[in-house]
């Protein structure tokens, strides 16, 4: 059975999550109107199109993706959880090391959101 919650963000400002309760870490989930299967397929295409991304796990409505920074090769993890009952994909993006990420994780989530929307719109 797939998990229903993503791990919480730490207190440090290098993580964002659609399941966070505090505004400092909160982002909106990815929304869709199609079937969950169709949305997941589009999301996977978006993730694979992003530079320096590697899908580490993709099974039963859960995906974990590793991103590496271009120069210093810092690792960040993005976790995605299909919430078909709410027509949403929960998302969490967090740095593995360091304290502050200068907004990299929030920008990554918004880039994924934008490309996901564009992919769904193009398929209509």
Are 26 and 36 in contact by the 8 Å Cβ rule? The answer is no
Asked if residue 35 is part of any domain, the answer here is yes
Chain mean pLDDT for the chain? 91
Helix axes 36-49, 104-123, angle to 10 degrees: 120
Mean pLDDT of 26-33: 98
Task: Quote the DSSP letter at residue 26.
Answer: B
Asked if residue 51 is part of any domain, the answer here is yes
Asked if residue 2 is part of any domain, the answer here is no
Asked if residue 5 is part of any domain, the answer here is no
Tens digit of pLDDT for each residue in 37-81? 999 999 999 999 999 899 999 998 999 999 987 666 678 999 999
Residue 98 confidence (pLDDT) above 90? no
Asked if residue 55 is part of any domain, the answer here is yes
Tens digit of pLDDT for each residue in 34-48? 999 999 999 999 999
Asked if residue 115 is part of any domain, the answer here is yes
Q: Please tell me the predicted confidence (pLDDT) of residue 27.
A: 98
CATH number reported for the structural domain that contains residue 96 in this entry: 3.30.310.80
The total number of structural domains that make up the chain: 1
Give the C-alpha distances (Å, rounded to integers) separating 43 from 11, 71, 113: 28, 26, 9
Residue 2 confidence (pLDDT) above 60? no
Are 61 and 84 in contact by the 8 Å Cβ rule? The answer is yes
Tens digit of pLDDT for each residue in 109-118? 999 999 999 9
pLDDT tier at 82, thresholds 50, 70, 90 = very high
Asked if residue 113 is part of any domain, the answer here is yes
Q: What domain range is 56 assigned to?
A: 15-123
Distance CA 117, CA 69 (A): 24
Percent of the chain with pLDDT over 90: 77
Secondary structure element (H or E) that encloses residue 57, with its range: strand 53-59
Asked if residue 75 is part of any domain, the answer here is yes
Mean pLDDT of 20-27: 95
């Amino acid at each position: 059975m797939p998990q229903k919650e993503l791990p919480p963000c730490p207190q440090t400002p290098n993580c964002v999550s659609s399941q966070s309760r505090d505004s400092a870490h909160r982002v909106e989930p990815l929304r869709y109107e199609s079937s969950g299967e169709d949305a997941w397929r589009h999301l996977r295409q978006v993730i694979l199109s992003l530079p320096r991304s590697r899908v580490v796990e993709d099974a039963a409505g859960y995906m974990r993706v590793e991103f590496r920074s271009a120069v210093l090769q810092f690792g960040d993890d993005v976790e995605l959880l299909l919430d078909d009952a709410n027509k949403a994909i929960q998302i969490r993006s967090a740095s593995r090391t360091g304290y502050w990420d200068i907004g990299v994780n929030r920008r990554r989530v918004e880039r994924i959101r934008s490309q996901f929307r564009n992919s769904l719109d193009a398929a209509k």
